[in-house]
A and B are shown apart, each in its own frame.
Chain A
C-alpha cells in the first residue's frame, strides 16, 4: 500500500503540476499553477450546479410516479456510462504507454502495484464523474424523502465503489482494442473505427432519447421515465444494487455491490499484473522490418514539411484524434440530425420559444460553437515535449511552425464545416444572404479555434509529460481549447437574444468580429507568441 501511495504521489507531483506549484522558484510560475487550480475548482462547482439542475428535474419526474429513488438509478447508470466511454480510449495509453514504465518496472515494486497505480489514475477521473452526477442526485433524493443517517453511511462507500466496475470493463474493452490494434498493420484505422462507432452510438442514443422526450407530455414522460429506469436496472444490475442498497436500506444489495465492484478490480490488477510485461511488450514492441530501399526523393517547402510532420503526429494518436477532433465529428452529426428533426420539435426539445423562426439566423453560430469544441492546435505545442529541440535548432521561422499547426486544425475543421453547412443549408433552406453566413461563419470561427488554440497552448504549455493523456485530456490548454470558441459564439447568441436583434445581423457581426480577431491573434502570435515560444 505504501508503494502504491508513493506511485500515486509521484504521478500527482509530476503530471498534475502539484510539484511545480509547491517547489517552483519563479513566483510567476507558482501563481500560474495556483490560478489554474482555482480555475479547475470553479469549473467543478459549475458542473456540480448543472448536474444538480438536471437531478432536480429528474427527481421531480421520479417523484410523480412514486419512485423517488429512480433518480439515483438513472444517475448511477449515467455516471457508469460516462466513466466507461472516457476510460475506453485512454486505457491503452495510461496502462501501457507511459514514459516512466522502464523506471518503475526496474524498481522493487510488484507489477500488480504498478498496474493498480495506473488504474487508479483512471479511477480518479471516473470518481469525479460519479460524484458530479450522484452527489446532486443523492441530495435531491434526500430532500424529497428525508432519509436516516444509515442512507448517508451507505452512500459514501457506494459512491466510491460505483465507478470501479465500469472502469474495469472499460479497461478490458479499451485495452483489448488497443492490444489488437497494436498488432495489426492498419492499427489506427481499426481503433478509430471502433471508437468512432462507440461515440456515434452514444450520441445517437442520447439524441433519440431527447427527441422522444420532446414529444411527450410531462406525466407521460414520467411514466416512460420510470419504465426506462426499470429497464436500465435490469440491463445494468449494479445501478439497481446501488439504489436498493443506499436508498432501500438493503444491506445484502449493498454488500453485493461492494463485492461486484471491488473483486473485479482486484482480479484485474492481479491478472494484468501477472502478465504485465508480456502485455506491455505486445503493445509497445514493434519489430523493425529492415527492408527499406531508397527510392526517388522529392523536395518540398519547409511549411509543407512542417505540415506533414504535424499531420502525421495528429493521426498517430487515436486519443488526439477523438479528443481534439470531437467538435468536427459532432458538427457533422448535428447538421445531419437537422435533416430528420422537424424544426418545431427542436424548439420543444431545446425549450427556446420561437427558435424555429430564427433557426436559419442562429444556425451558423451554433455550428461555429459545436465545431469549436476541441482545438487540435491547443495541445500541439505541448505535444512537442522532448522533441522541441528539433524545431528550436532548425532554420524555420516561428510563424511557419504556428502556421503548420493551425493548418492541421483547419484540415480537420474545414471539411466538417463545409459538409455541415451544406447539410444544414439543405435542411433549413436559408435565404441567399443566409447561405453565405452558413459557410462563412463556421469557417471564420474555425480559424479562431485554430489560432486561438495556439494562444492557449503558449500561455499554458506543458512540455514535461510522461503520457500524452496528460496533455490531450488533462491540460489547461486543451480545456480552454474546448470551451473558448463555443463561449464566444454563445456570447453573440446571448447578446442577440438579450437585445432582441435580428440573428442574421448578429451572425454577420460575429463573423466579421471573428475574422478581425484572427488578425489580432496572428499579430500576437508573431510578436509576443514568438517570444514565448523561444523561451520554452
Chain B
C-alpha cells in the first residue's frame, strides 16, 4: 500500500533530512515510525502526503507514484498532522463538508460517518461552532473525523495522540484497529512508545534521516521493551 524507495530529502543549505530511506507497508497493517526529534519522521511523512518535494527516490501509494500521479495518491490518502491548523473561520461541520465535497463523498454516507465518528469522539454537539473556538484537542478530533470521512485506504498520522484526552486516545486506537480490519493501512509517527508497542504490526526506527531498524514489532523488540531497544539503538549506534 505504501512503498518508500530510496527516499532522499535535502533542505537548502545541504542538510540531509532523509537519506536513502526505504520501507514498505502492506495493506491492513499498522506501521509505527519512531525516532528522535529532528530524525526525519515528519519530513518522510510530509513527502509521502505531497507537502514536501524530495530529491531522490520515489514513494508509491496504492501503486501510484507520488511524484508522477499525486492526485491518484491523494485521492486514497488522509493525513493528520501533529498540530492541525484548520480553517479557523469555518465551523466544524463546514470544514467536514468542505473535505467531503473535495473527496466527493455522497451526502447520506457523509452524514452517517460524521455521526459515527463525531459521537465516538464526542464532538458532534460542537460541529456548529467556529473552529477558532475549539481547544487543541477538539481540533485534533475534527481533523481525525475529516480524515475518516472518505474511508481512506492509507491513513498517515504525525504524532496522533498529542492533545487527545484519554477517552479520545482510546477511541482513536480502536478506530485505527477497525480501519485495518477493513483493509486500510495506517502509517504513523509517535513518541509514545507504549502505544507503538501495543498497536503496531510493524515498526521502523529512524536516526539522522537513516533507517536503523524495521520489521514486525515482536522481531524488533525481541525479549526487551521498545523503549530499551530504542535507547540502545539511538544512543549507542
Contact = CB atoms under 8 A, between A and B. Distances in A.
A25 B74 contact: no
Nearest to B51: A392
7 shortest A-B CB distances, which residue pairs? A292-B128, A305-B101, A316-B89, A395-B74, A288-B129, A286-B133, A386-B85
B53 A534 contact: yes
A396 interface: yes
Contacts of A396: 102
Contacts of B21: none
Contact of B115 (A26, A290, A294, A394): A294
A390 interface: yes
A296 B111 contact: yes
Nearest to A288: B129
Interface stretch (A260-268, A307-315, A333-341): A307-315
A394 B102 contact: yes
Interface residues of A, number: 39
29 contacts: A25-B12, A26-B12, A288-B126, A288-B133, A289-B129, A292-B125, A294-B115, A297-B107, A297-B110, A297-B114, A299-B107, A304-B101, A305-B101, A306-B98, A306-B102, A309-B87, A309-B90, A312-B89, A313-B87, A317-B89, A385-B85, A386-B85, A389-B51, A392-B50, A392-B51, A393-B49, A394-B74, A395-B102, A535-B53
B124 interface: yes
A98 to B, nearest CB: 14
Nearest to A536: B51
Given A305-B98, A389-B51, A394-B102, A296 B128 contact: no
A380 to B, nearest CB: 13
Contact of A287 (B71, B90, B110, B133): B133
A11 to B, nearest CB: 22
A286 to B, nearest CB: 4
A223 to B, nearest CB: 53
A294 B118 contact: yes
A150 interface: no
Given A305-B101, A393-B51, A395-B74, A292 B129 contact: yes
Interface stretch (B27-35, B75-83, B225-233): B75-83
Please tell me the size bucket of the interface on B: 35 or more
A395 B86 contact: no
A312 B94 contact: yes
Interface string B121-164: 00011111110111000000000000000000000000000000
Select the residue from B98, B107, B114 with max chain A CB neighbours within 10 A: B98
B89 A286 contact: no
Interface in A315-347: 316-317
Given A288-B133, A534-B53, A297 B71 contact: no
B50 to A, nearest CB: 6
Given A304-B101, A389-B51, A291 B110 contact: no
A387 interface: yes
Contacts of B102: 302, 305-306, 394-396
Contacts of B98: 305-306, 308-309
A500 interface: no
Interface of A: 25-26, 286-292, 294, 296-302, 304-306, 308-309, 312-313, 316-317, 385-387, 389-390, 392-397, 534-535
Nearest to A534: B53
B99 A394 contact: yes
Contacts of A292: 92-93, 124-129
Contacts of B126: 288, 290, 292
Given A294-B111, A297-B97, A316-B89, A393 B125 contact: no
Nearest to B143: A390
A390 B101 CA distance: 14
Given A299-B104, A397-B71, A390 B129 contact: no
B209 interface: no
B85 A389 contact: yes
Contact of A288 (B86, B105, B134): B134
A293 to B, nearest CB: 8
B207 to A, nearest CB: 25
Nearest to B85: A386
A245 B128 CA distance: 58
Contacts of A390: 86-87
A291 B85 contact: no
Contacts of A296: 107, 111
Contacts of A286: 129-130, 132-133
A309 B101 CA distance: 11
Contacts of B86: 387, 390
Nearest to B147: A393
A290 B129 contact: yes
Given A313-B87, A390-B86, A395-B102, A294 B13 contact: no
A305 B97 contact: yes
A395 B114 CA distance: 20
Nearest to B87: A387
B13 A291 contact: no
Select the residue from B77, B89, B114 with max chain A CB neighbours within 10 A: B89
A299 B51 contact: no
A297 B106 CA distance: 9
B107 A298 contact: yes
A393 B50 contact: yes
Nearest to A316: B89
A294 B118 CA distance: 10
Contacts of B90: 309, 312
B125 A290 contact: yes
B87 A291 contact: no
Contacts of A394: 74, 99, 102-103
A25 B13 CA distance: 7
Given A292-B125, A297-B110, A387-B87, 19 more contacts: A286-B133, A289-B128, A289-B129, A290-B125, A290-B129, A292-B124, A294-B93, A297-B97, A299-B105, A299-B110, A304-B101, A305-B102, A313-B87, A317-B89, A389-B81, A393-B49, A395-B75, A395-B102, A534-B53
A292 B92 CA distance: 10
A176 B80 CA distance: 39
Select the residue from A299, A301, A317, A387 with max chain B CB neighbours within 10 A: A299
